[in-house]
Amino acid sequence: MEFLHSLPKSKVLFGDGKLKQLGSEAANYGSNVFLVTGKSSMEKLGFLDKTKKYLNREGLSYTHFNEVTPNPTTETVNKGAQLALGEGCDVVVALGGGSAMDAAKAIAVVAGHKPNGGSEDIWDYISAAQDDSEPITEETLPIITVTSTSGTGSHVTPYAVITNPDTGGKPGFGGPPMFPEVSIVDPEILLEMPPKLTALTGFDVYSHVSENIVSKGDHPTADPYAKEAIKLVSEYLPIAYNNGDDLEAREMMAVADTYAGLSNTIASTGLRHAMEHAVSGHYPEVSHAQGLASLAIPIMEYNIEHGDKKTLERYSKIAKQFGEIDKVTSQKEDALKSVTALNDFLGKLELDKGLRELGVEDSSIESMVEGTFEYMKGDIEHNPVIPDRQDVKEIFKQAM
Ligand code: NZQ
Ligand code: MN
């Protein structure tokens, strides 16, 4: 066995009403906050006002940037970084889902490096986009996140995902300086997620850990997080979806999201994330998690069909966590029970949709195949079976 495990550095404050501690936490890192949100949800729900109040209370000044859209773009990040620099901000706070958190991390990279001679374009820091990317160093401004979804795990990972609207390229990137210093997980905010967003983000959690479990290599320190997260998602996501006011279900999904972020920091995602980024990169109106859901079944079938004994065993672990089998084996029929379980689960969450239903056109398949191989090489290399372009094309067709 062989593995590498660096401890994540984020401090997580978890609990009802913890948003109140934002000001005192931020004051440890700066005095002039760049506050990053999406366009409207946090304002409508009253959390933006609360956030401003908690920053004011500690004597912090702030600039609010509310231009982040789902699947955030290089343009938005570069604009935010310019503004943060112009205002002399010294700490970046995200209040929102994965999109706001990722945009904030990326803004912290550009705003931290540019005054020291770094590029003003986030794309130049993305290693998947070029061979000679600029390094992401400790010059990155300190990052604090308040997560408003239980999905991406971004509050405890050193990663961000940014789309280049010119090419449809949507790579993930990161490095230790992009770990949030502090992350607040406040279920009061999570209770407000509507059912569809609950289902989508919950499925993203499942995706991270199920891909982590089957990914290439040994990851004994990720597996316990991943296995527990699958169990939590299978039990609590249907409850949170059907009764959004169930606090216990919301809390357990937030725990699962945190476990998944930790697992994802150690182990890698695979072909499902590689192919999905090409989908939502080309179609920004498609949510990341719906793209994952539409691709899930054909990719699992492909991996099980061509996977080795260890892969079958890992899929049977997933089936066991879903309660489909009692014992982990390397039998194909047990591995396939993870597919049946997921099919039922997607049905319960009303996520069982083909890509065409999401607006994806057959004419985009070639370009999505290229995007998968160009920007998501790392995830492809970690998939238990290494596909070629023809395999990926066939899977896209099946997922349509
Ligand atoms: O934009 P606003 O107005 O804030 O509304 C958002 C948005 O419309 C709304 N929303 C968020 N929290 C809410 C809420 N509405 C009501 N109540 C709340 N509590 O929901 C919509 C979706 O928000 P978004 O942030 O886009 O969702 P999610 O958390 O799923 O993030 C998705 C993004 O994260 C990336 C995805 O690719 C995508 O860009 N990912 C980031 C990862 C990472 N950093 O490690 C890993 C993931 O695999 C993923 O790729
Ligand atoms: Mn994801």
Query: Per-residue pLDDT tens for 90-145?
Result: 999 999 999 999 999 999 999 999 999 999 999 999 999 999 999 999 999 999 99
Ligand 2: centre distance to CA 53 (Å):
32
pLDDT at 171 over 90: yes
Ligand 2: centre distance to CA 310 (Å):
24
- Answer yes or no: are the C-beta atoms of 134 and 118 closer than 8 Å: yes
Ligand 1: centre distance to CA 205 (Å):
12
pLDDT of residue 234: 96
Ligand 2: centre distance to CA 165 (Å):
19
38 lines ligand 1 (CB under 6 A): yes
80 lines ligand 1 (CB under 6 A): no
Q: How open is the CA angle 295-297-300, to the nearest 5 degrees?
A: 105
- In the chain, where the domains are located: 11-190, 195-399
pLDDT of residue 8: 84
152 lines ligand 1 (CB under 6 A): yes
Dmax (CA) of the chain: 61
Instruction: Provide DSSP, 113-176.
Output: HGGGT--S-GGGG-GGG-TTPPP--TTSPPEEEEE-SSSS-GGGSSEEE-BBTTTTB--EEE-G
Residue of the CA atom closest to atom 1 of ligand 1: 38
Q: Which ligand is the nearest neighbour of the Cα of 102?
A: 1
- The number of beta carbons lying within 10 Å of the beta carbon of residue 107 is 33
The gap between the terminal CA atoms of the chain, to the nearest Å, is 39
Q: Answer yes or no: CATH 3.40.50.1970 is held by domain 11-190.
A: yes
CA 209 to chain centre: 11
pLDDT at 4 over 90: no
47 lines ligand 1 (CB under 6 A): no
Report, as an integer, the average pLDDT of 45-52.
98
pLDDT of residue 47: 98
- Answer yes or no: are the C-beta atoms of 35 and 64 closer than 8 Å: yes
- DSSP code, position 73: B
- The number of beta carbons lying within 10 Å of the beta carbon of residue 269 is 26
pLDDT of residue 5: 87
SS3 181: coil
Query: Per-residue pLDDT tens for 236-281?
Result: 999 999 999 999 999 999 999 999 999 999 999 999 999 999 999 9
State the fold for domain 195-399.
Answer: Dehydroquinate synthase-like, alpha domain (1.20.1090)
pLDDT at 9 over 90: no
Report, as an integer, the average pLDDT of 332-361.
97
Burial class (CB in 10 A: 0-12, 13-18, 19+), 359: exposed
Query: Per-residue pLDDT tens for 193-236?
Result: 999 999 999 999 999 999 999 999 999 999 999 999 999 999 99
41 lines ligand 1 (CB under 6 A): yes
Distance CA 48, CA 214 (A): 39
